């Protein structure tokens, strides 16, 4: 197998998109991401240094990765986050990140310097009280104003909203209306199971339920289905006359595994070939031993299941045990 084919799995999917978690820490405590009792953090010497992040990323780029997303935890609270962005921006990739938006205002100039044009910002409610309940912190106004600031500064902003039944599912239309005068891309994400987040199907708001709310509030000719790009995780729409758009990420009820091109690197140097896989491959130990990480990457890609770590039916997915996987905060969104 040539180096250029290492990231192509047995189903012909080429993994050209690397998501790197910079930290397991966060300045929020979102209920669907972090267990109520917190998490056991990896010891500092088990985490990748900025040099190790760059070395691993460079190896992936040599194999065909063209896009890198920085995640966490909250990637921007890592002390050397600016340095990591600067190092990675020297590679021939599209560099972007997912953030909770609390401190993005401190990085505007640095984003521009590093060629970052698109950011995903997590915001799960437009109601101050609900936002405090889900994040266990009081930063709603700061995050909302930072979204406005990012738009004003010319960034493409994707607003990520995890929907949960009887909590924020009554805000679907409010979020869509956020895109009326703001050129933002609102993305509704189905609630997914991870360790400690008390997931069950009854709390999930499905693709069909979201669309039902949309069609109950807008006329048929007002809801425009947009063309989804190859490897998109979303089904995208726009309300006629609105500046922005909205989309649905239906990992549970309508998975998009056929077009998956993603591979994840955790903050402690483990490869996850699927968000729902409990199996990991240790790159960091091998790298620190001075050995090639290519065979490990190759095996991780070649052993990837066709659908959601082998859960190829909704019935199998319903029986998932979140404790077999990490908490979302330690995977990287």
Q: What is the pLDDT of residue 119?
A: 98
Domain ranges across the chain: 3-331
Please count the other Cβ atoms lying within 10 Å of the Cβ belonging to residue 26: 20
Strand, coil or helix: 171? helix
Strand, coil or helix: 41? coil
* Separation of alpha carbons 55 and 42, rounded Å: 21
Q: What is the pLDDT of residue 322?
A: 46
Q: Which CATH architecture has domain 3-331?
A: Alpha-Beta Barrel (3.20)
Q: What is the pLDDT of residue 137?
A: 80
Task: List the one residue out of 108, 278, 79, 248 whose CA is nearest residue 169.
Answer: 248
In this structure, the strands spanning 94-99 and 235-239 are unpaired
CA 143 to chain CA mean position, Å: 18
Q: What is the pLDDT of residue 43?
A: 85
* Separation of alpha carbons 100 and 244, rounded Å: 20
* Separation of alpha carbons 252 and 191, rounded Å: 8
Strand, coil or helix: 250? coil
Q: What is the pLDDT of residue 274?
A: 87
> In the beta sheet, which residues pair with residue 98?
120
Tokens encoding 74: 């909250």
pLDDT along the chain (333 residues), means of 10: 86 96 82 65 89 98 97 94 98 97 97 98 93 84 97 98 91 97 95 58 85 97 93 91 95 78 94 85 97 96 83 61 50 58
Tokens encoding 99: 């953030």
Q: Give the contacts of 120 (CB within 8 A, at least 6 positions apart).
A: 69, 96, 97, 98, 99, 157, 158, 159, 160, 187, 333
* Separation of alpha carbons 239 and 135, rounded Å: 29
């Amino acid at each position: 197998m040539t180096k250029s084919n290492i990231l192509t799995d047995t189903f012909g999917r080429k993994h050209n998109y690397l998501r790197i978690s910079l930290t397991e820490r966060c300045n929020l405590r979102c209920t669907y991401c972090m267990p109520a009792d917190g998490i056991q953090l990896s010891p500092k010497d088990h985490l990748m240094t900025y040099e190790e992040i760059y070395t691993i990323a460079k190896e992936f780029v040599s194999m065909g990765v063209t896009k890198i997303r920085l995640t966490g935890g909250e990637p921007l609270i890592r002390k050397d986050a600016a340095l990591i962005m600067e190092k990675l921006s020297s590679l021939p990739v599209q560099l972007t990140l997912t953030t909770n938006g609390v401190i993005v205002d401190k990085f505007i100039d640095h984003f521009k310097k590093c060629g970052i044009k698109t950011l995903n910002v997590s915001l799960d409610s437009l109601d101050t009280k609900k936002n405090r309940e889900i994040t266990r912190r009081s930063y709603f106004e700061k995050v909302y104003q930072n979204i406005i600031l990012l738009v004003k500064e010319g960034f493409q902003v994707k607003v990520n909203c995890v929907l949960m039944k009887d909590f924020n599912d009554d805000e679907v239309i409010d979020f869509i209306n956020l895109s009326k005068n703001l050129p933002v891309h609102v993305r509704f994400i189905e609630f997914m199971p991870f360790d400690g987040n008390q997931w069950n199907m009854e709390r999930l708001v499905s693709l069909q339920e979201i669309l039902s709310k949309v069609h109950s509030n807008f006329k048929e000719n007002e809801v425009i289905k947009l063309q989804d790009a190859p490897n998109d995780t979303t089904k995208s729409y726009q309300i006629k006359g609105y500046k922005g758009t909205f989309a649905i990420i239906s990992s549970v009820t309508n998975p998009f595994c056929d077009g998956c091109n993603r591979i994840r690197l955790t903050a402690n140097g483990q490869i996850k070939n699927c968000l729902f896989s409990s199996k990991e491959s240790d790159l960091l130990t091998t790298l620190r031993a001075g050995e090639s990480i290519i065979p490990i990457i190759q095996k991780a890609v070649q052993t990837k299941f066709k659908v959601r770590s082998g859960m190829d039916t909704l019935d199998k997915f319903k029986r998932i045990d979140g404790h077999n996987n990490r908490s979302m905060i330690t995977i990287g969104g």
